[in-house]
């Protein structure tokens, strides 16, 4: 599972950076979505995906079962998703403003004027 | 429990949220901001006093023991930077009463100004690396908002590269954090330091350190990654530029100072240190050359920020207690003086309604006091003897001489000469050049007070630099010998 997810991360990062370098508003937005998902997946893989036991202490024992999933990466990802979403929505609004003011979504074209 | 460490957060958050509640009432917002920023100055002075007398202060939030809970830590370096930030923020708050336009204020200038400082406070006081990331995002998001408050085409055009480059650097930061967590299972900086101190770095940790290096380099506008800075800084009014120059790049440099002394001491990785060293020197040089080429007042000042960042990074790269102390001294000197220069440039811009040097002139003839204030800060920035910039550069150069790093010393000295040339350009064009028309300087009382306060604090820095530098030397030692920090956070048993 870890291996396949790592391949997915590589794919996301490559595609994300490729989209960003196009300097084209819509593609930049897509690039950011891909890149932020890649970062979240890395946090996820870092926590280890081997276990399927929920990290809940049952009534009979006092400490967490050693086979349980690490809950911290999930909390980290949750925070990162919220922050990434906020950033992305700001960026989308910014792109909309830029598009409305120049009627041009290619950043390279505008810089020649 | 050291509850006073939470005071700065509470004050700034209260100021921001009360401004949000009274969104329509700008006057009330400015009063809130003024009151809470004054309280912020007092509480940071309290934190500095406590840290100086009783050593590193630690607050385990909600009493969760470290390294499992959230930890707030103030050591001397962060307390000093906190105090400098609070003083500059206080002055900018006063300044913005009359120099930030009503339109920006009605769109929530005070909310975002408080939040951006809140982000910086979070970076200075946090004890774990994930909260460092979260504080960075608070800082960035409010800086995005401040950058685009006016919604002019120019601002929006400049905001897009700024926002996208910073988003990329945040993602790199996040990936670095993920790798660190995967290899150690913890994100508390003191714990990571004690864990990595005696063990060889694995490839995963090295990769993580490079990711963090990239993220901080972009945030502090290091040599190949500085393109976002000059244009976006020049697009906004001077009050906001002063806030940016005091917070954004300095917070990046502070993260370098914290992470690359505590977790990944830069001397342990000679390859990365080499890259760091040459990038720092090039940042210095290219920043000042860029400033020489500009012809608008604020552009010169904002491109200069990069050159100054180069000095700080060079100081970190030398890595000795003296060099680290000099770096912090330089940072604080630069925060104060640069903010002051930008505020002065804002006054000129507001009175004359232009930024171009060629269309200005005769300020010295008509405005002696005002010109003197500019003169003082400009000379201090370029490092002439009785002023704070001289001592900042002197300490850095001494650290460089100790290492016999002649390339760095030569570069620092010649760059500071070129700084003087570019300041001279401003002085000749704006202040000395004869011009027919009569000037009407719109200098309000609040603006004058803020500029005078910043000039005075820079002078205090200069005249008491001996005793003050002793405190900085201690701060440098506590950054260099990380034992104190680790035991203060984790307790003796770990």
Q: What is the pLDDT of residue A113?
A: 43
Interface test with A, best of B157, B167, B177 (most A CBs within 10 A): B167
A-B contacts at Cβ under 8 angstroms: 79
CB-CB under 8 Å, A97 with B151: yes
A42, A72, A91 ranked by CB distance to B167: nearest: A91
User: Any chain A CB within 8 A of the CB of B70?
Assistant: no
Which chain A residue's Cα is nearest to B69?
A: A72
- Which residue of chain B comes nearest to A44, CA vs CA? B178
Half-sphere exposure of B367 (CA within 13 A, CB side): 21
State residue A112's pLDDT score: 42
Q: Which residues of chain A have pLDDT under 70?
A: 50-51, 109-113
* CB-closest option in B153, B164, B178 to A20: B164
B351's tokens: 């009175």
- Residue of A46, A50, A100 to mutate for B, most B C-beta atoms under 10 A: A46
Structure tokens at B193: 């330091």
| pLDDT digits 0-9 by tens, B126-139 | 988 999 999 999 99
Per the CB < 8 Å rule, is A46 touching B181? yes
What total of structural domains would you count in chain A?
1
Q: What are the per-10-residue average pLDDT scores of chain B (494 residues)?
A: 87 93 91 93 94 89 83 92 94 89 88 94 92 93 90 85 90 92 88 86 88 93 85 85 90 92 87 91 92 86 90 91 93 92 88 73 77 87 85 91 90 91 86 73 83 90 88 90 87 62
B372 near B455, Cβ under 8 Å? no
Whether the CB-CB separation of B227 and B164 falls below 8 Å is answered with: no
B76 and B54 Cβ atoms separated by less than 8 Å:
no
Phi first, then psi, for residue B88 (nearest 5°) are: -65, -40
CA–CA min distance B177, chain A (Å): 8
3-class secondary-structure state, position A47: coil
ipTM of the complex as predicted: 0.91
Among B327, B366, B367, B322, CA closest to B344? B367
Distance between B164 CA and the closest CA of chain A, angstroms:
8
Q: How close does chain A come to B141, measured CA to CA in Å?
A: 7
Nearest 10 degrees: Cα torsion A98, B117, B133, B209: 100
**Owning domain of residue A63:** 2-112
* 3-class SS shares of chain B: helix, strand, coil, % to 5: 80, 5, 20
Per DSSP, helices labelled H in B220-367 are 229-235, 238-262, 270-293, 297-318, 321-352, 363-366
The pLDDT assigned to B438 comes to 65
How high is the pLDDT of residue B426? 85
Minimal C-alpha gap between A35 and chain B (Å):
7
Q: How far apart, in whole angstroms, are the C-alpha atoms of residue B223 and residue B340?
A: 25
Alpha carbon distance A9, A19 (integer Å): 15
Question: What is the C-alpha end-to-end distance of chain B, expressed in Å?
Answer: 20
CATH number of the domain bearing residue A13: 1.10.287.3510
pLDDT reported for residue B155: 84
| 176-215 of B, contacting A, C-beta below 8 A | 177-179, 181-182, 185
Inter-chain CB proximity B177 and A101 less than 8 Å? no
pTM comes to: 0.92
Question: In this complex, do A91 and B163 lie within 8 Å of one another by their Cβ atoms?
Answer: yes
Give pairs for B31-35: CB < 8 Å, separation 24+. B32/B110, B33/B93, B33/B110, B33/B113, B33/B114, B34/B93, B34/B94, B34/B97
């Amino acid at each position: 599972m870890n291996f396949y997810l790592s391949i997915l991360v590589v794919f996301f990062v490559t595609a994300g950076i490729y989209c960003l370098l196009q300097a084209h508003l819509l593609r930049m937005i897509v690039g950011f979505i891909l890149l932020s998902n890649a970062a979240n997946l890395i946090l996820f893989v870092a926590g280890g995906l081997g276990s399927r036991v929920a990290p809940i202490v049952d009534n009979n024992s006092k400490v967490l079962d050693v086979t349980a999933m690490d809950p911290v990466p999930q909390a980290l990802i949750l925070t990162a998703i919220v922050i990434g979403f906020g950033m992305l929505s700001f960026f989308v609004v910014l792109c909309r403003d830029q598009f409305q003011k120049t009627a041009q979504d290619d950043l390279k074209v505008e810089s020649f004027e | 429990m050291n509850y006073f460490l939470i005071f700065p957060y509470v004050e700034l958050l209260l100021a921001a949220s009360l401004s949000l509640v009274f969104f329509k009432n700008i006057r009330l917002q400015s009063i809130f901001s003024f009151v809470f920023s004054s309280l912020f100055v007092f509480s940071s002075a309290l934190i500095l006093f406590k840290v100086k007398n009783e050593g590193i202060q630690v607050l385990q939030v909600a009493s969760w023991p470290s390294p499992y809970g959230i930890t707030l830590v103030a050591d001397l370096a962060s307390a000093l930077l906190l105090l400098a930030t609070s003083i500059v923020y206080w002055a900018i708050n006063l300044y913005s009463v009359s120099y930030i336009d009503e339109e920006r204020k009605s769109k929530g200038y005070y909310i975002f100004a408080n939040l951006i400082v809140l982000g910086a406070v979070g970076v200075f006081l946090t004890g774990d690396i994930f909260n460092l990331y979260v504080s960075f995002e608070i800082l960035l998001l409010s800086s995005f908002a401040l950058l685009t408050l006016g919604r002019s085409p120019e601002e929006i055009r400049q905001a897009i590269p700024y926002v996208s480059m910073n988003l990329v650097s945040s993602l790199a930061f996040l990936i670095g954090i993920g790798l660190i967590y995967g290899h150690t299972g913890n994100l508390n900086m003191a714990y990571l330091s004690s864990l990595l101190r005696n063990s060889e770095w694995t490839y995963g940790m090295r990769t993580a350190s490079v990711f963090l290096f990239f993220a901080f380099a972009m945030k502090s506008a290091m040599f190949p990654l500085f393109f976002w800075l000059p244009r976006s800084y020049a697009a906004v009014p001077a009050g906001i530029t002063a806030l940016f120059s005091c917070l954004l790049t300095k917070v990046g440099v502070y993260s370098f100072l914290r992470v690359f002394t505590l977790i990944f001491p830069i001397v342990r990785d000679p390859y990365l240190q080499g890259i760091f060293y040459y990038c720092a020197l090039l940042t210095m040089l290219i920043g000042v050359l860029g400033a020489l080429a500009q012809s608008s007042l604020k552009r010169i000042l904002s491109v200069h920020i990069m050159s100054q960042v180069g000095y700080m990074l060079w100081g970190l790269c030398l890595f000795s207690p003296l060099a680290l102390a000099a770096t912090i001294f330089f940072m604080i000197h630069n925060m104060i003086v640069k903010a002051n220069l930008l505020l002065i440039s804002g006054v000129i811009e507001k009175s004359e309604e232009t930024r171009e040097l060629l269309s200005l002139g005769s300020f010295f003839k008509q405005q002696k006091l005002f010109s003197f204030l500019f003169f003082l800060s400009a000379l201090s920035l370029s490092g002439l003897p009785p002023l704070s910039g001289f001592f900042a550069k002197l300490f850095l150069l001494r650290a460089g001489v100790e290492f016999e790093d002649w390339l760095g010393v030569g570069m620092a000295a010649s760059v500071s000469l070129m700084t003087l040339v570019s300041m001279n350009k401003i002085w000749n064009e704006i202040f000395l050049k004869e011009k027919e028309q009569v000037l009407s300087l719109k200098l309000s009382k609040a603006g004058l007070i803020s500029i005078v306060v910043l000039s005075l604090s820079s002078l205090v820095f200069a005249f008491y630099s001996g005793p003050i530098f002793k405190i900085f030397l201690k701060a440098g030692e506590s950054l260099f010998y990380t034992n104190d920090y680790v035991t203060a956070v984790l307790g003796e048993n770990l």
